[in-house]
Structure 1
Amino acid sequence: MRSSKIIAFDIYGTLIDTKGIFNQILRLVKDEELALNVVDMWRQKQLEYSFRRGLMRNYVDFSICTKQALEYVIKYYNLDLSEVEIKNLLDIYKELPVFSDVKISLDKIKENNIRMYAFSNGKPDDLVELLKFNGIINYFDDIISVDPVKSFKPDPAVYLYLLRKTNGYHANVYMVPQTLLM
């Protein structure tokens, strides 16, 4: 019998390791501390831009927030990256790895017949590509992007959209947010 519980997983930072781009950045900047700072600030700005856009009701898709955050970091650290290098980094972002414990954890949840959803600020096609690349797409009953709502988490409208898409209600849908150890 299928559980009435529903678990919605944030993708970036929860299932997918956004620091997985570190080696590519290190090859470009050739300084380990700088590479780590670039990775951290890129993610911080990506989240900041999406949060602010959600609050301002000034939606663009998440890939634009990702690109603008990278552009900010490049200017902040005065990095000399070519357009090709920037495009390559943005393309690699679509192939970030899963955290090492993700598949084991998803297997355990699936054993309990709990419905699982991937829920993200990302564009639907990017999410499908990323989850397929990592071999975890089949764990999920559906992939839910905030894109149709034209806002970002933490806007309450996106969580109401999640409830509608899963046929869930507040008491049976559990959200697994991004990790705090970014």
Structure 2
Amino acid sequence: MNRVLIFDVNETLLDIESLTPVFEEAYADPTAMREWFAQLVLYSMTLTVSKQYVDFFTLGRAVAQMLADIRGVDITEAHLDRLASAMSQMPAHPDVEDGLQSLRAQGFRLVTLTNSPTNPHRPSPLDNAGLGGYFERQFSVDPCRAFKPDPGVYLQVCRELEVQPDECVMVAAHVWDTIGAQAAGMRGALITRPGNAVLQASETVLPHVTATDLQDLARQLGDA
């Protein structure tokens, strides 16, 4: 039975829509946030495939500047600093805390795996959102010098926890994340946050579980 749940953080647990006011101020366009996030994911994957690496926060600032250059917008260091601060202070989605409580009560081991770097001397965004206590470990891709969905970042969690991939379920709001985890031998659980859906490309990329939120996930895993 899959007893280890590995959670993505940004958008799966924490609400990235909270970043929208920063982009509305800097770009005079609230839709710029989603464009920035999509480009951030694209270039994180590009660096990984190219065997290059910079941390996710550094890349986030660089993509924000690139987007400003493309749009012909002047953004300041103050705007970029506000973005970095907002990324560390994102609130949890309303369903998350109750869902985590239910999953923990069912006996699952809960850990996280994020593209964002961690700093042992500072609270993580999860800690700032009041969720850090629910998790046994908070893993970052940073030690691997690669971003998800590179298989190595999922397998590092298995090594650290001394479990096999088939004992784990990757819980994410992004289907590229569940696909990566499944390629590494895990099961995938897709949380269909607004703007996310199942990719109907082939049977092999379909998530094993599809849930609307963490409370729905807890119900489904409890019934399994």
Relative contact order, higher structure (CA 8 A, sep 6+): 1
Q: Deviations over 1:33-67 (max 9, x none)?
A: x212x100110011011111111110111112211
> Which of 136, 139, 146 is the equivalent residue of 2:134?
139
Is the 1:11–1:178 Cα contact (8 Å) retained in structure 2?
A: no
Q: Deviations over 1:113-138 (max 9, x none)?
A: 21000111110129942011100000
> Which of 78, 95, 108 is the equivalent residue of 2:102?
108
Hey, what's the Cα distance between the residues in 1 that align with 2:94 and 2:38?
Answer: 22
Name the one with the larger helix percent.
1
Hey, what's the Cα distance between the residues in 1 that align with 2:4 and 2:92?
Answer: 21
> Which of 54, 73, 77 is the equivalent residue of 2:71?
77
Gaps of 5+ in 2: 175-191, 196-224
Hey, what's the Cα distance between the residues in 2 that align with 1:55 and 1:4?
Answer: 29
| 1:66 corresponds to | 60
Structure 2-normalised TM-score?
0.73
Is the 2:2–2:166 Cα contact (8 Å) retained in structure 1?
A: no
Partner SS for 1:76: helix
Partner SS for 2:7: strand
| 1:47 corresponds to | 41
Percent identity over paired residues:
23
The answer on 1:129 being equivalent to 2:124 is yes
Moved over 6 A (4+): none
The answer on 1:56 being equivalent to 2:50 is yes
Hey, what's the Cα distance between the residues in 2 that align with 1:87 and 1:174?
Answer: 35
The answer on 1:149 being equivalent to 2:147 is no
Q: Which stretch shifts more, 120-129 or 102-111? A: 120-129
The CA deviation at 1:161 is 0.6
The CA deviation at 1:23 is 2.3
| 1:7 corresponds to | 5
Gaps of 5+ in 1: none
Is the 2:22–2:79 Cα contact (8 Å) retained in structure 1?
A: no
> Which of 150, 157, 161 is the equivalent residue of 1:166?
161
Hey, what's the Cα distance between the residues in 2 that align with 1:19 and 1:78?
Answer: 24
Q: Which stretch shifts more, 171-180 or 134-143? A: 171-180
The CA deviation at 1:25 is 2.6
Is the 1:144–1:162 Cα contact (8 Å) retained in structure 2?
A: yes
Hey, what's the Cα distance between the residues in 2 that align with 1:96 and 1:173?
Answer: 26
The CA deviation at 1:149 is 0.9
